[in-house]
Amino acid sequence: MGPHSKGLQLNKNINKLNEHKIIVIGGGAAGLMAAGRAAECGAQVLIVEKMKQVARKLCITGKGRCNITNTAEMGVFIDHFPVTGQFLRPAFSTLFNKGLVSFFEDNGLKCVTERGGRVFPASGKAPDVKASLMRWLRSLGVTIRTDVAVSRLLTENGRVAGVIAGGQSIIADAVILATGGKSYPATGSTGDGYRLAKAVGHRIVPLRPALVPLETAGRFTGRMNDLNLRNIQVDLIVDGKQKSRQFGELVFASFGVTGPTILTLSTLAVDALDAGRKVALLLDLKPALDEQKLDARLVRDFTKRSHEPMSSVLRGLLPRPLVPVCLGMTHIRRERKPSEMKVEERRRLGNWLKNFPLEVTGYRPFSEAIVTAGGIDIGEVDPRTMESRKVAGLYLAGEVLDIQGDTGGYNLQAAFSTGWLAGESAARSEKKS
């Protein structure tokens, strides 16, 4: 018995589990919330989780800190789901950010709001979020069965009838599919739900890594590994045209670039790369200065330090690892002195500081993606209930749906909200049946 299940009802013999009315497939954020809400509404609930512990991905999200939600108001929040935001409005109307924070605090988890409206557990520890959910589920008598995989959904006359799990049939009045996406597969997110949904008639929008680091050309990025640039502007360029812009933080890695700005731009970049288009990034390292003010700054620095080598002068403008990159890309010798610089060379330097180019050659695999783009087509799901339009009594929640959003707490809120609505809807439907 794993430490997560202490105090929960656990049955060793899966044949004894056929009394449950609602089965939740997947013990992640959406699944746990769906199970608890269904139990609150009076249903008997069983969670079936294929891993040895539930909430494994939840425990590592946000670099182990778990960005639960964001304080943005509804309209802004929905805008952070560029394509699918309106689908989420009913779920957010049922459980939104303030309600989610209140829920966790009522269940013993204090929360704090940080820069950008991002909400975290006050402890800074993601496992505390799991512990809060587990206390809630324990109090509601939810049954959890771990280390059991669901291989098939059972249907009869267009309605869900249960599942086959661990080689045994388990009958249910409703099933909630909350298996997650394909990101962080080591935590159990291996895309099982897509196969289960497709087998009962659902269309799967092609899967791609989202909120994922990007690979870039040039050996110099490796020399800047872990260099963190803050307060810069990053433009995504596709076939020579600007497609999107982000302001904030970028981190260099051995393979290319990551960080909040890159993760947010990555979905568009991945789609463009997959379509065979040319993708690049333009970094404005001095966004607070327009070209004229930046040139004046360079003139001032060059005058003040006219007899120092450019390699030294540039350290007043750039982090040390960027200096040789700048000199190499602008074709300025490191020993050259500002007093020797021509106007054209100074302007070339200024242009580079405002337009540092990076060619994007690829993106990292699902194992490094925060979420999955694509998934179950939301056109086949009723947003008012999260019920399948293909199979009555089947509900869908979380990342298994095609609802990816930006980084900053938006995706976890979507998982919790869709899980809450699915659980509530399934319980009410089960009562009527």
**pLDDT of 29:** 98
Rounded-to-integer distance, Cα 4 and Cα 194, Å: 26
d(CA 423, CA 386): 9
Residue boundaries of the structural domains of the chain = 3-209+372-432, 213-363
Cβ proximity of 415 and 91 under 8 Å: no
Structure tokens at 332: 């300025």
pLDDT at 17: 44
Q: Which parts of the chain sit beneath pLDDT 50?
A: 1-19
Question: 68: buried, middle or exposed (CB in 10 Å: 19+, 13-18, 0-12)?
Answer: buried
Return the number of other C-beta atoms located less than 10 Å from residue 85's C-beta: 19
pTM here? Answer: 0.89
Phi, psi for 381 (deg, rounded to 5): -130, 135
- The DSSP secondary structure of 159-193, one letter per residue, reads EEEEEEETTEEEE-SEEEE----SSSGGGT-SSHH
CB 395 within 8 A of CB 174: yes
- Confidence (pLDDT) at 184: 87
CA 347 to chain centre: 40
Positive or negative torsion for Cα 99, 104, 107, 109: negative
d(CA 176, CA 33): 11
pLDDT for position 14: 42
Segment holding 264, helix H or strand E: helix 260-274
Architecture of the domain spanning 3-209+372-432: 3-Layer(bba) Sandwich (3.50)
CA 340, CA 118: separation in Å to the nearest integer?
Answer: 49
211's tokens: 């909120």
Sign of CA dihedral 309, 313, 318, 319: positive
The dihedral region occupied by 242, where left means phi > 0, alpha psi between -120 and 50, and beta the remainder, is beta
For residues 47 and 188, what is the distance between their CA atoms, to the nearest angstrom?
A: 15
Q: What residues form DSSP beta bridges with 22? A: 45, 174
Read off the tokens for 1.
């018995």
Distance in Å from the first CA to the final CA of the chain: 35
Q: What integer pLDDT is reported at residue 187 of this predicted model?
A: 87
